Amino acid sequence: MNSTVVTFPDGHVTGRSEIVGVVPVGARHGLVVAETPFHPLDHTWPDQPADLGTLGGLPVVDCVTGAWAEQEGLRLGPDIPVRRGADGWEWLVVHVTETPLPVGETVDLVVDAGHRAALSAGHTACHLAALALNAALAGHWRKEAARDGLGHPDFDQAAITSSRITPDGSVDVYRLGKSLRKKGFPGDDLDLDRVAADANERLAAWVAAGAPVRIDVPGRWLTARRTWHCALPEGEVSIPCGGTHVARTSELGSVTVALSREDATLTMRTTVTR
């Protein structure tokens, strides 16, 4: 099996392709095609959930990343022993179904477009929220730090431990504490209501601006190093990203964040109201 060609970075939700492999996934079946519009959960940074939909008329109940190497065989999701895109492996989109279909059959692939649109909105909002949080926290840094595309210290990159996209939202978890304090962010005098209000003001302006969003796609394979670009009024920003997005920030309607803190863990919940 060769690495799967993916069309979701261009916004596709339908396709037609040949089944090139069928593998067991527990008691279910993993169908691999040559080219797919389905976005699978990534195994290295599992932020955007799998697309749902149908393959050859069968419900796709899950969609996971697979990696195949001559000596190692096929590994799925968390069992993949190497990082995303590692050389020597073929990178596969594995569509999970309850019933198998034969290799060689050509099938229609149809992604649940409503679910995808909600995840795309959640993902774009997640990136914007991270940039707005960086800006709102800029005055709290005591040392020089790596900066984001808008020139603010990149709190998001320095402190994030997990990011989960949901339909029309996201939940980002940050680790405050010792290692961040050493980097120059003490974080003990944070007024979370003020920080959230500041971030929300920026987010409202960015949504109102209708800023264009695009994905730079350097290759057709699943693990090509794609980049999210957004032309905000303050300047164009880019973030490495394997997911799907809206085409304009105005499609988001409104984006708001809420912050909460428990000991050294800061959680940002982002909500889109389209």
Residue 48: CB minimum distance to Zn ion, A:
7
User: Minimum distance between the CB of residue 170 and Zn ion, rounded to whole angstroms?
Assistant: 9
Closest approach of Zn ion to the CB of residue 123, in Å: 6
Nearest residue (CB) to Zn ion, 23 versus 241: 241
Tokens standing for 220? 């057709």
The residue (of 153 and 243) whose beta carbon lies closer to Zn ion is 243
238-170-92 Cα angle (round to 5): 70
Closest to Zn ion by CB, 89 or 228 = 228
Question: Closest separation between CB of residue 160 and Zn ion, Å?
Answer: 11
185 neighbors 176 (Cβ within 8 angstroms): yes
Question: Which residue's CB is nearer to Zn ion, number 101 or number 268?
Answer: 268
SS (H, E, C) 33-67: ECEECCCCECCCCCCCCCCCEEECCEEECEEEEEE
Q: Binding-site residue total for Zn ion (CB under 5 A)?
A: 2
Q: How far is the CB of 227 from Zn ion (least distance, A)?
A: 10
Nearest of 88, 127, 164, 146 to residue 241 by alpha carbon: 127
If binding is defined by CB under 5 A, does position 215 make contact with Zn ion?
no
Token duo for residue 89: 């492996």
| Shortest reach from residue 239's CB to Zn ion, in Å | 6
Spatial CB neighbours of 39, under 8 Å, sequence gap ≥ 6: 6, 8, 48, 50, 51, 63, 111, 116, 119, 243, 244
Cα 168 to Cα 181: distance, rounded to the nearest angstrom: 33
Please say which residue, 25 or 118, places its beta carbon nearer to Zn ion.
118
- Report the residue number, 161 or 179, with the smaller CB distance to Zn ion: 161
Cβ within 8 Å of residue 134, ≥6 positions away: 148, 150, 152, 153, 154, 155, 156
Q: How far is the CB of 203 from Zn ion (least distance, A)?
A: 16
Check if the beta carbon of residue 228 is closer than 8 Å to that of residue 239. Answer: yes
CB-CB contact of 12 with 26 (8 Å): no
Please give the residue whose beta carbon sits closest to Zn ion in the complex: 241
Taking the complex as a whole, the smallest distance from the CB of residue 231 to Zn ion amounts, in Å, to 17
Nearer CB in complex with Zn ion: 49/243: 243
Q: Which is nearer to Zn ion, 42 or 90 (CB)?
A: 42
Within 94-113, the residues that bind Zn ion by CB under 5 A are: none
- List the interface residues with Zn ion, window 220-259 (CB under 5 A): 241, 243
Asked if 9 interacts with Zn ion (CB under 5 A), we say no
Angle between helix axes 113-136 and 192-208 (nearest 10 degrees) is 120
What residues line the site for Zn ion (CB under 5 A)? 241, 243
